[in-house]
Amino acid sequence: MRGAVIHAPGDVRFETLDDPKILHPTDAVIRTAVTCVCGSDLWPWRGLEPIGDAHPMGHEYVGFVEEVGSEVTAVKPGQFVVGSFATSDNTCANCRNGFPSNCLHREFMSTCQAEYVRIPNAQGTLVATDEVPDEELWPGLLAVSDVMGTGWWAADAAEVRPGSTAVVVGDGAVGLCAVIAARERGAERIIAMSRHASRQKLAREFGATDIVTERGAEGIARIKDLTGGIGADSVLECVGTAQAMRQALHSARPGGSVGFVGVPHDVSVDGPELFFSHVGLRGGPAPVRRYLPDLVERVVTGRIDPGKVFDLTLPLDQVAEGYRAMDERRAVKALLKP
Ligand SMILES: [Zn+2]
């Protein structure tokens, strides 16, 4: 089979690789229906994260079950399945506590920009749809496996409640999905921070009521202006930079909450500042598996359409162009079709 391999910053190649095989009785192998490039894939692409030896890329997937190990009974060959970027057994203490992305047997996916993918912990990780969904739903279901699940976690961690005011920091695919999540969870006012016209438009379509283009001290002042001088009930931090975290912490009202779901790069939090702010802080890799049945249902019934975050579709063999387009901000998120 063929798949994407990163060799160096800016150097992703589509190469012939060994076909994935069942290595453990808890594995499955799927044939990729669609996959994509993640914003976090750009960190190594830009040379901001070490690459080491050349290795496959990709952690988002939906596909058709090809083969299952002897202990996998939850899904069977031929079914269309959605999973998570973090695999989980769905039975350990951390899974039972609702944090499958911290499963004691967790393995992060990292080979999904390929024609076939081995899924560890398949029994606990994969959710099959009732029937094979229409192809137009595949992008939305793919989004559920990472960015929509992560946006949902941002809203959950930031305790978005019916009637509340939410600020979304970041207008990448996760930020846009976080707007959907805030709306679905009943936020009355959703302030999206975005500087890009096309992303502002999509944020409004997804439910944003206000757009703030300013950043830094001006951005914080603008949020205070819009929230009676005190800040928002919930802030969804979907970037992972020091500036975004600062924006988030200073946009929440005393007693409010920040959900931070952007993988932090050079982020540190000032202890006394956090102490005196009364702001609650929770983040981490999204417990996507916990949300899968609900989010799959919302997509299949057409209630939400997070597939709209894909604004570029490429054949899988042009995966490198997907990285370039996202790096150069010509695309929010690139969908790849085998
Ligand atoms: Zn577990």
pLDDT of residue 18: 97
Span 295-303, mean pLDDT?
98
pLDDT in tens, 183-232: 999 999 999 999 999 999 999 999 999 999 999 999 999 999 999 999 99
145 CA from centroid of ligand 1 (Å): 17
11 CA from centroid of ligand 1 (Å): 35
Number of independent structural domains in the chain: 2
Q: Are residues 175 and 270 in the same domain?
A: yes
Reduce the DSSP state of residue 22 to 3 states and report it: coil
Q: Are residues 212 and 91 in the same domain?
A: no
pLDDT in tens, 7-29: 999 999 999 999 999 999 999 99
CATH number at residue 183: 3.40.50.720
123 CA from centroid of ligand 1 (Å): 11
135 Cβ contact partners less than 8 Å away, ≥ 6 residues apart: none
pTM of the model: 0.96
Q: Considering 283, 305, 320, which residue would you say is the last residue of a domain?
A: 283
Span 118-131, mean pLDDT?
97
Return contacts of 324-329, CB within 8 angstroms, 24+ apart. Answer: 326/37, 326/39, 326/42, 327/42, 327/45, 327/46, 329/196
Q: Are residues 111 and 192 in the same domain?
A: no
89 CA from centroid of ligand 1 (Å): 4
213 CA from centroid of ligand 1 (Å): 41
102 CA from centroid of ligand 1 (Å): 7
pLDDT of residue 22: 98
Is 200 in contact with 332 (CB distance < 8 Å)? no
Q: Would you give the DSSP letter of residue 314? A: E
37 CA from centroid of ligand 1 (Å): 26
284 CA from centroid of ligand 1 (Å): 16
Which chain residues have CB less than 5 Å from ligand 1, an ion? 88-89, 92, 95, 103
Q: Are residues 165 and 275 in the same domain?
A: yes
Residue 159 burial class via C-beta count within 10 angstroms: exposed 0-12, middle 13-18, buried 19 and up: middle
Closest CA to 287 of 98, 89, 127: 98
For residue 93, the number of C-alpha atoms closer than 13 Å in the C-beta half-sphere is 0
270 CA from centroid of ligand 1 (Å): 33
Per DSSP, the residues of 135-154 read GGGHHHHHHHTTHHHHHHHH
Span 53-65, mean pLDDT?
97
pLDDT bracket for residue 57 (50, 70, 90):
very high
